[in-house]
Amino acid sequence: MKIDKEQLLKVIDFWQKSLEKEVLCEREITKNINYAGKEVIDLIGPRRSGKSSIMQLIAAQLGLKKNDFLYINFEDPFFIENNSPLVIEEIVAIFREYYNPKLEYLFLDEVQEIEGWEKTVRKFRDGENFKIFLTGSSSKLLSKELATLLTGRHKTYNILPLSFAEFLHFKKIKINTPKDIILQEKKISKQFLDFLMLGGFPEPVLHSDQQLLKEYFYDILQKDIMVRYQIRERETLEKIAIYLLSNIGKPVSVEVLKKTYDISFALASKYVAYLQEAFLVFGLTQFSFSLKKQAKAFKKTYAIDTGLANAVSFRFSQDKGRYLENAVFLELTRKKEKIYYYKTKNNLEVDFAVFEKQKVKTLIQVAWSAQEEQTKKREIAGLLEAMEECELKKGIILTYDQQDVIRIEDKIIEVMPVWKWMLG
């Protein structure tokens, strides 16, 4: 394939100049990335979650200045007609010729758009002195291909939308000490409600623009699923996506999806898997010591972002408690906790069981409010029974704004606002 050198030079120039225009806000993930060694660093997460900005933050953290590194976004229209792994090699060659002959750092954004990209990346990693950073919007594509071709030679970091702490930073609310939290408690509590409704995608947060979230939803469906997998039943896929986002925190049966949308069980399962691969939704497994029982249990569905779920389903006012639960799920996922939902022997449910070394270390219930006597009894009953089964003395109930300590015999249940728990 013959590549137009002049056109490619214009593309490189465009993306290098694009870096000068962005105003960047710090992200927590940059503190956790280990840059040492030759391993390829891959940043995997939904589109629009800030992966490109994180690349720029990494470059700044490494002390790289303009033209010290090559940055290119492969969603550029140029690559529709020029889609080959050779184009990556050509980009590097041209950059060395016109910008920096001693180029060492490659930042390849949405690299999955180039067919056969993996072999070129491996060639650069093994044959030359490059430090390579990749981003991608498909969990399956990057993790599968990298695992095959770069075994033991890459590090993966999952990128989610903003945490609440990052949300506050974007809103210019500074929290450096516990005293800052106490002094700004009312303001922070109000911001948390905004966080639940608007979510954590950076651009909608910066501009308070919920309409953008609908565009993100359709972008993910179109670019990361429909085009990639050549979906024919596009309307059905969209309906299933909206159904899942309208039922966050609830167990989902593929059998119900099959009957509701009049499709095969295999196709319903495939569509759910595609939505998970594109990071639109997550599935949470029920814990059981029996792997057979665990596999049979329905998974609970959570959205990538409460704001996106709200924009698509318009159910926030009816399902406030489930949005709160979704926010807790995302925070636990962000902290890389190993989590399940838990059912006791008497079929009482606990929203989250956090595991460490094959043992439950924390049990968490989530409720918008635990003031109503019936709700309080239900949440406490499930938690106490699970604590007994898991041999724990302490449990947690996370709410929107309540704080309390409940002592029952030798057990303690701490009730606290989700936002205080999130801010540590």
**Could you tell me the CATH number of the domain that includes residue 65?**
3.40.50.300
- How far, in Å, are 177, 248, 258, 324, 350 from residue 363 at the CA level? 27, 20, 33, 16, 7
Tell whether 184 and 76 lie within a shared domain. no
Is residue 210, in this structure, part of any structural domain at all?
yes
Tell whether 217 and 123 lie within a shared domain. no
Tell whether 186 and 223 lie within a shared domain. yes
Dihedral angle, C-alpha 189, 247, 369, 410, nearest 10 °: -110
Tell whether 228 and 80 lie within a shared domain. no
Position 66 scores a pLDDT of: 87
Q: Which residues of 273-309 are buried (b: 16+ CB within 10 A; e: fewer)?
A: ebbbbbbbbbbbebbeeeeeeeeebbbbbbbbbbbbb
Name which residue leads in pLDDT, 299 or 151. Answer: 299
Distance CA 39, CA 153 (A): 5
Is residue 120, in this structure, part of any structural domain at all?
yes
Position 20 scores a pLDDT of: 74
Tell whether 115 and 215 lie within a shared domain. no
Position 34 scores a pLDDT of: 87
Parallel, antiparallel, or unpaired for β 349-356 and 131-136?
A: unpaired
**Domain boundary residue among 104, 127, 159?**
159
93 three-class SS:
helix
Domain count across the chain: 2
176 burial level (CB within 10 Å; 0-12, 13-18, 19+)? exposed
- Has residue 181 got a pLDDT over 70? yes
For the record, the structure tokens of 74 come out as 């492969």
Q: Within a 10 A sphere around the Cβ of 388, how many other Cβ atoms?
A: 12
Is residue 164, in this structure, part of any structural domain at all?
no
Tell whether 211 and 141 lie within a shared domain. no
SS3 labels along 266-285: HHHHHHHHHHHHCCCEEEEC
For the record, the structure tokens of 119 come out as 């072999």
- Has residue 79 got a pLDDT over 90? yes
Tell whether 119 and 255 lie within a shared domain. no
**Domain boundary residue among 159, 189, 222?**
159
Domain that holds residue 244: 178-422
Is residue 169, in this structure, part of any structural domain at all?
no
Tell whether 182 and 155 lie within a shared domain. no
pTM for this entry: 0.93
Mean pLDDT of 114-126: 88
For 131-142, write each residue's pLDDT tens digit.
999 998 877 655
CA angle 17, 18, 22 (to 5 degrees): 125
The percent of residues above 90 in pLDDT, for the chain, comes to 75
**Domain boundary residue among 95, 127, 159?**
159
- Has residue 145 got a pLDDT over 80? no
For 215-261, write each residue's pLDDT tens digit.
999 999 999 999 989 999 999 999 999 999 999 999 999 999 999 99
- Has residue 57 got a pLDDT over 70? yes
Tell whether 275 and 361 lie within a shared domain. yes
Position 143 scores a pLDDT of: 57
Is residue 173, in this structure, part of any structural domain at all?
no
Mean pLDDT of 28-53: 91
Lowest-confidence segment of 111-115, 136-140, 389-393, 406-410 by average pLDDT: 136-140
Is residue 168, in this structure, part of any structural domain at all?
no
Tell whether 306 and 400 lie within a shared domain. yes
Contact 344, 386 (CB under 8 A): yes
Tell whether 141 and 193 lie within a shared domain. no
Distance CA 137, CA 112 (A): 8
Tell whether 116 and 242 lie within a shared domain. no
